[in-house]
Each structure stands twice: as C-alpha cells, then as structure tokens.
C-alpha cells in the first residue's frame, strides 16, 4: 500500500484517537492499569430528589456513551497497531486489500467490505 496514503490515514487515526480520549475524559476516569479503558464517574449535582434522579439518568447515558466511545477507540488503536506492523490496509479476515475509498471514509477499518457484511 502507498506509504503516503498510510501516513495520511495515520494522521487521521491519531486525530480520532485524541478526540475520543478527550471526549471520554470529559465524564469518565481513566483506568491507569489498562490502556484506553475508562470508568464513567457518577455525577454529583446536589442532594435533592430531583437532582439525584438526573444524576442517575445522566450516569446511565454516560455509561452507554462510554461503551460506544471505547469501542471506537479500540478500533482506532488496533488500526494504528496494524500500521506499525505493516499490515494496515489488509483485511484481517481474508487478507485481501481493503478498498482505499473505504479506508478514506473509515480509517479504522480492519476488514474489507465483503467480510464486514459477513459478520
Ligand atoms: Zn476480507
């Protein structure tokens, strides 16, 4: 695969990694023992009943947001890892080249469209 293209994707991926980490750090505590693992903090708005109710609702929302963001972050981390290994742009299931257009749209893709549709 073209080195310039890989460089470009690497830049995009690092940008995404940074943004995802920033988003997560906004409401979650970083796990110091595990890379890119975060734990949603329980919010504290006050001690009134309605404040407690909002805390619980926001906590639930943040938990599902945390899991979405962590999944994306894990994909980005994996793609960056594959760049290091020189395996970037190859489908991890069938080993064929991933369409560069797919990578442009979704730099963290590690499978080709065919394989993605199989899962
Ligand atoms: Zn494939």
Residue with tokens 């009134």: 48
Ligand 1 geometric centre to CA of 97 (Å): 8
What contacts 45, CB < 8 A, 6 or more positions away? 51, 54, 55
Per-residue pLDDT tens over the stretch 11-55: 999 999 999 999 999 999 999 999 999 999 999 999 999 999 999
Mean per-residue pLDDT, 90-109: 95
Whether the per-residue pLDDT at 89 is higher than 80: the answer is yes
Q: What percentage of the chain reaches a pLDDT higher than 90?
A: 96
Residue 118 banded pLDDT, cuts 50, 70, 90:
confident
pLDDT of residue 71: 97
Domain map (residue ranges) of the chain: 3-88
How many degrees, rounded to 5, is the angle at CA 11 between CA 28 and CA 3? 145
Which residues are within 5 Å of ligand 1 (an ion), measured at CB? 91, 93-94, 112, 115
pTM above 0.75, yes or no: yes
Residues 109 and 119: their CA atoms lie apart, in Å, by 14
Report CA(51)–ligand 1 centroid distance (Å).
Answer: 49
The arithmetic mean of pLDDT across residues 102-110, rounded, is 96
CA of residue 92 to ligand 1 center, whole Å: 7
Strand partners, 90: 97
pLDDT at 119 over 70: no
């Amino acid at each position: 695969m073209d080195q310039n293209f890989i460089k470009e994707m690497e830049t995009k991926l690092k940008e995404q990694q940074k943004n995802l980490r920033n988003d997560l750090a906004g409401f979650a505590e970083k796990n110091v023992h595990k890379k890119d693992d975060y734990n949603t903090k329980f919010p504290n708005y006050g001690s009134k009943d309605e404040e407690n109710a909002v805390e619980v609702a926001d906590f639930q929302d943040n938990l599902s947001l945390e899991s979405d963001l962590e999944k994306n972050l894990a994909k980005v981390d994996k793609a960056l890892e594959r760049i290091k290994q020189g395996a970037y742009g190859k489908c991890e299931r069938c080993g064929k080249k991933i369409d560069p257009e797919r990578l442009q749209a979704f730099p963290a893709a590690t499978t080709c469209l065919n394989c993605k549709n199989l899962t």
